[in-house]
Amino acid sequence: MSTEELASKAAQISLSDNFLFVDEAAGSDETGCGTQCSPYQTSVAAVTLIVSMPEEKQSSFKIAIKKAGDTDYAEITASALKKARKSQEIAAKKAKKQAEQSSKDKEQNEAREAEEQRRLDESKKVVLTEDGSLPAAQLIRIQDAVEKRNTRVKVFGWVHRQRVQGKDMMFVVLRDGTGFLQCVMTDRLCHSFDALTLTLESAIAVYGEIREVPAGKTAPDGHELIVDYWHVVGKAPGGDDSFTNRVSEESDPSLLLQQRHLVIRGDRASSILKVRARVMRAFRDHFDGNGYFEVTPPCMVQTEVEGGSTLFEFDYYGEKAYLTQSSQLYLETCLPSMGAVYTLSESYRAEKSNTRRHLSEYTHCEAEIPFISFNDLLDTIEAMVKGVVNRVWEEPATRAMITQLNPEFKPYTEPFVRMRYEEAIQWLNDQGVKRAEDGLDFEFGDDIPEAPERKMTDAIGKPILLTHFPGPIKAFYMPATKEDPRVTESVDLLMPGVGEVVGGSMRIWDHAQLLAAFQRQGLNPDVYYWYLDQRKYGTCPHGGFGLGIERFIAWITNSRTVRDCCLYPRFVGRCQP
């Protein structure tokens, strides 16, 4: 309670009211005023009020106290009064000290603000100009900085980090998408208004000479730019709207998704996207190097591939159409004219699976190969995965990013494990893994869910080519094996930490068998006339597969969710930004 409030209460009490009342059970130091109708809770509050009165009035007052459980008030004992006075003195000294410190802090803050304002006012008088006597600066990207050491250069970029050292030195780490460059600004370069108000994510241009850092010092690529001139290109806001107030590592995941356009500027997010770009190139290089042709199938279709329940339907000029689930059927039509073909394009699944490995839109790497056997297909998938990994691993910059993201990652050199579906069922039962719906053992014909599949894959700790799934749980175009008509020539590639990455199979290549498969699936073969014609005009044994790029990236980078492995993820409830 303030001194003014205490004085006001003291003035309201007449000399005839010579007792201040304290009720330890029902009183209140905050709202009480010391009367019997409105007692205090502690004797310290009563003493505090008394000492705030004029000296001639203080001796007129006594304290009546009612302890918890008592029914009547009694005058406070001498020892209790002494203790209360001691406590009041301590509290008064503490309050005085706090008031003095508060006043001192206020004065210091005001002085600091005045000095800051003075510096800002002075900084507006500092005008930076480029020294015309220096060599013309060469415009470079940061990735080329090593080759341009000891040369005057010009670099554009965004302020990724900054650190002020005293009044005459400032370090800025610049980012331009190709790398990071530490820039050192000194003297007048640190005194301008733009320097004093520089914010993270501002776009700037810096001029100067790139030099190796002194021994014992560290910086990206082992060098730094000694700045001789710089200017702001686009300043980012500070204060409440500053970049770090918009997103941070501690932000809620839903907020990070909403602010994904800012999140991708971060170290991890940008590294994952760069690894993705290199992986996409590696897939193309692998296929091109093995004689495949890339094709670009349509994404608007009137047929289904993986079941009607996951189709995105839309009106196509008055006709019913869908976003493609897979380009497989179109790739098969290219085999007679182009041989082995592949595509890297988007596929869409309207399945409401809100899990960390499902997306409604994802990048689909698909391939079809003519005149192969099922074993050839398995070898092809394994060679592709190993080949792509080796390609990105051989690039020093990409390898460095992968190592930073996933320090434990190493390319697989040993053969992948090959396991039949029936062996997987037996493994789960031997390990005591039960079906979630009824707690019983798995049986032949069960579709193995994600959790048991991941448990098995992680326990084995190696890539698994899981083969020969029962026909009823696989797509209609997958042929039964000659040895056991119950199972198909089908395969899923399972990766530790991720689960299924590739799904593939041989394709039914007999016209009559394919017609029968359409009938079992309840599909109108007339809509698929162009697909059936492939079995009429020179059919051949062939097979193919599809790989989810986001899952592949998640495996390489040890990302918890595929949502981190694409630019703007699309899934149930998320179609922004």
pLDDT at 4: 55
Model pLDDT for residues 550-560, shown as the tens digit of each residue: 999 999 999 98
Lowest mean pLDDT among 11-20, 143-152, 424-433, 519-528: 11-20
In the chain, % of residues over pLDDT 70: 97
> Using CA of residue 190, residue 194, residue 198, residue 202, what is the dihedral sign?
negative
The answer to whether 463 touches 416, Cβ cutoff 8 Å, is yes
CA gap 534, 515 in Å, rounded: 12
105 or 202, which is more confident:
202
Q: Which of 411, 291, 270, 289 is nearest to 341 (CA)?
A: 291
Q: Which of 532, 460, 541 is nearest to 495 (CA)?
A: 460
Close Cβ partners of 131 (under 8 Å, ≥ 6 residues apart): 228, 229
CA gap 185, 150 in Å, rounded: 17
Helical spans, DSSP H, in 144-241: 193-196
Per-residue pLDDT, averaged over 78-100, amounts to 86
Average pLDDT, the chain: 90
Give the Å distances, CA to CA, from 309 to 215, 306, 312, 351, 457. 64, 9, 9, 7, 28
Per-residue pLDDT, averaged over 210-226, amounts to 91
Close Cβ partners of 459 (under 8 Å, ≥ 6 residues apart): 431
Model confidence at 209: pLDDT above 50: yes
DSSP secondary structure string for all residues of 540-570: --EEEEEEEHHHHHHHHHT-S-GGGGSSS--
Lowest mean pLDDT among 378-392, 413-427, 437-451: 437-451
CA gap 198, 231 in Å, rounded: 10
The answer to whether 359 touches 570, Cβ cutoff 8 Å, is yes
CA gap 179, 135 in Å, rounded: 25
**What number of other Cβ atoms are within 10 A of residue 533's Cβ?**
13
Helical spans, DSSP H, in 373-474: 374-393, 396-405, 421-430, 450-460
Model confidence at 14: pLDDT above 80: no
Query: To which H or E segment does residue 114 belong?
Result: helix 78-123
Model pLDDT for residues 483-504, shown as the tens digit of each residue: 999 999 999 999 988 889 999 9
The answer to whether 557 touches 275, Cβ cutoff 8 Å, is yes
Lowest mean pLDDT among 60-64, 336-340, 422-426, 491-495: 60-64
Amino acid at 517: A
Token pair in block for residue 436: 């979630």
In the chain, % of residues over pLDDT 90: 63
The answer to whether 190 touches 170, Cβ cutoff 8 Å, is yes
Model pLDDT for residues 342-374, shown as the tens digit of each residue: 999 999 998 887 787 789 999 999 999 999 999
Query: To which H or E segment does residue 366 belong?
Result: strand 361-370
Compute the residue count for the chain.
577
**What number of other Cβ atoms are within 10 A of residue 284's Cβ?**
16
> Using CA of residue 291, residue 295, residue 301, residue 302, what is the dihedral sign?
negative
Model confidence at 7: pLDDT above 90: no
pLDDT at 308: 62
CA-angle at 576, arms to 270 and 549, nearest 5°? 50
Model pLDDT for residues 272-295, shown as the tens digit of each residue: 999 999 999 999 999 999 999 999
CA gap 160, 143 in Å, rounded: 16
Model confidence at 382: pLDDT above 50: yes
Model confidence at 16: pLDDT above 50: no
The separation between CA 128 and the C-alpha centre of its own chain, rounded to angstroms, equals 39
**What number of other Cβ atoms are within 10 A of residue 129's Cβ?**
7
